[in-house]
Amino acid sequence: MSISDTDSNNSMDKTPLKHKRLISVVVILLLAGAGYYYWRSSGEQEMQTQPLIATIEIGDIENTITAAGSLQPYDFVEVGAQVNGILETLHVDIGDVVEEGQLLAEIDARIQEARVDASRASIEAQEAQIAARKASLELARANALRQERLMAADATSQLDYDNAINSLASAEASLIQLEKQIQQSLASLESDETQLEFSRIYAPAAGTVVSLEMNEGRTINANQQAPTILRIADLDTMTVETEISEADIGRITRGMEVYFTTLGGGNRRWYSELRQILPTPVIENNVVLYTGLFDVDNSDASLLSDMTAQVYFVTSSARNVLTVPLGALTFIDGAAPGQLAGAVAARPGGGNAGPGGFAGPGGGAGIAGMTEEQRAQLRERVASGQGFGGGGAGPRGQRAQANGQTAPARRLATVTVANPDGSQEEREVMIGITSRIDAEVISGLEAGDKVVAGILQTGGQAPAQQNGQDDRSQMFRAMRGL
């Protein structure tokens, strides 16, 4: 056999081998693609949707404006010193509860005591001169009388008579002058005694010592102004100073309900009413902030000075009302807030017939059972203020008035009710106050009713797509490796 025949046979053997390898790769790719699409289709088939069921319950709904604040005592007094000296003794410490008139501190009073002693000695010396002045006055009065008798008998000269009268007047003036000096000295003594009393500092009011500004041994100089030694505060009532932004101040009014929480108070809320809004703002970093003040009882001493408060101004609220998730509602076009104020929609099948004969199935005042003409008549009644099904004077309306709030705007909406037998029905309801989560049900539903609040998807379609992309990437990498 020649060399050319051998090469020809080898090339013939290699050609079928290449075709077999290519066919194998194609088969593998087809099987992998078929497996992937089968896996994805089975994943989509396993994807299921089911309604999210929510139960109508009794609860509270409120809308608030939040702000930051701090706690300060409602009433406090700064106790200072009115005399110079060394702070000798402090009889209280921070946190002590004191009564009015209790001794708080003592200042070295040796200088004040010396002044009092000097004043008393001066008064005693002046009082000793009173007897001599009175004796001189009696002598001058006797000489004047004698000169008067001699003058009548023409037995003395006019000069001697005039000298006697002048001596009498001088003696009277000298006595009066001494008496006034004694009065002046007594007033000076009273002032010195008062200064001495100021060296002993007493509590001007009952309360708690919240700060000490000076320590024992410090020299006090009260010539320019009275230095503060300590502060006493009445902690039974606290005032919250809250900073309200310029954007929110238009919606906040005096007397509105407000509550706050503290960092260490857990879920506890302290309720009050806004007492005052200071007219002068505080500007911080070009932000205009107004200060709102309200007071809260602190008889249990749970609140302390300078605590941080998270404040909530309640703009609207409803207490102990039926609530429905906002996601379960579809508001009816044309039922804008305020347009249907006062209208109440009764549940189909209920026992109360609405005005105008708008009775639903089973004798109830059901909105769902009305014709389009009846619905139009209902809207006309609502717009004219006549109401429907009892108007807005129900228990919820009374609670809103008791809270000092205006009646909320009411709107018509539809919900999908899940019946106990598994069926679903669409029903119209009347909605009151709404928040970002829940809405108040004025009528149309009852506690315990179940409504569809959304759709739940099971089977993980999104993860399946993501996994599918990963699997495709792995498959293509495998193809490039072959």
Question: What are the tens digits of pLDDT across the range 215-226?
Answer: 888 888 777 677
pLDDT at residue 310, rounded to an integer:
94
Write down the pTM of the prediction: 0.58
Contact 310, 65 (CB under 8 A): no
β-strands 57-80, 228-245 pairing: antiparallel
Identify the residue with better confidence: 226 or 416: 416
Calculate what percentage of the chain has a pLDDT beyond 90: 19
Closest CA to 138 of 166, 161, 172: 172
Give the residue-averaged pLDDT of 402-414.
63
Q: What is the mean pLDDT of the chain?
A: 76
Selected residue with higher pLDDT from 351 and 433:
433
Model confidence pLDDT, tens digit, residues 446-476: 888 999 988 876 655 444 444 444 444 443 3
Nearest to 122 by CA among 181, 49, 165: 181
Q: What is the pLDDT of residues 316-326, one digit of tens each?
A: 888 898 999 98
Mean pLDDT of 379-403: 42
Residue 425 has pLDDT above 50, yes or no: yes
For the residues 205-216, what does the mean pLDDT come to? 87
pLDDT at 294: 95
- Whether 349 shows a pLDDT value over 50: the answer reads no
Strand spans (E) along 206-329: 207-212, 219-220, 228-245, 257-262, 270-273, 276-277, 282-284, 287-297, 308-325
pLDDT, one tens digit per residue, over 17-46 is: 666 677 777 777 777 777 767 666 555 555
Asked which of 44-48, 128-132, 270-274 is least confident by mean pLDDT, the reply is 44-48
Identity of the highest mean pLDDT range in 200-204, 289-293, 343-347, 358-362? 289-293
